[in-house]
Amino acid sequence: MADPDVSPNLGLLAFLVARDMETRVMEGLASAGYDDITLAQSRAFQRVGPDGTRVTDLAEQARITKQTAVFLVNQLERAGYVERVVDPTDARARLVRLAVRGRALVEVARRLEAEVEQRWADHLGARDTASLRRILTSLREITDPYA
């Protein structure tokens, strides 16, 4: 049982906030008709870059095995969210890129993310929201190897 006199560490606090965003967006996507994408699939999907991404890069960024990434991409491809295309820089390689349905999902997800951020801003106020964004952006410099 957690000690009520000990504040949660910053990592746990950041996780709780991120989990709230993730939960609300996934629930909103399901309500918008995208109820066939799982949380695991969404974590791989989020790492598909605008020009496409190799499966090995998706795996590394999502911190999963290449086999797991292939499995998730196969599911996403069958559902119409992504497609595999030839890498223009290496004809032997394939890129995973967003399909039409995937791009539509991204549009809905961005709107949902903005709604969650507005909810947080309404709670925190403009000054604290701006401070939080500045602080988290600064922390990203030392915590996000893919920034």
Q: What is the pLDDT of residue 26?
A: 98
Mean pLDDT by 10 residues, the chain (147 residues): 81 96 98 97 94 95 95 98 94 95 98 98 98 96 88
Q: What is the 3-state secondary structure (H, E, C) of the chain?
A: CCCCCCCCCHHHHHHHHHHHHHHHHHHHHHHCCCCCCCHHHHHHHCCCCCCCECHHHHHHHHCCCHHHHHHHHHHHHHCCCEEEEEECCEEEEEEEEECHHHHHHHHHHHHHHHHHHHHHHHHHCHHHHHHHHHHHHHHHHHHCCCC
Cα Rg of the chain, angstroms: 18
Q: What is the pLDDT of residue 2?
A: 66
Amino acid found at 31: S
Domains of the chain in sequence order: 21-143 (1.10.10.10)
Q: What is the pLDDT of residue 1?
A: 59
Q: Are 55 and 44 in contact (CB under 8 A)?
A: no
Give the predicted TM-score (pTM) of the model: 0.88
Residue with tokens 């801003």: 121
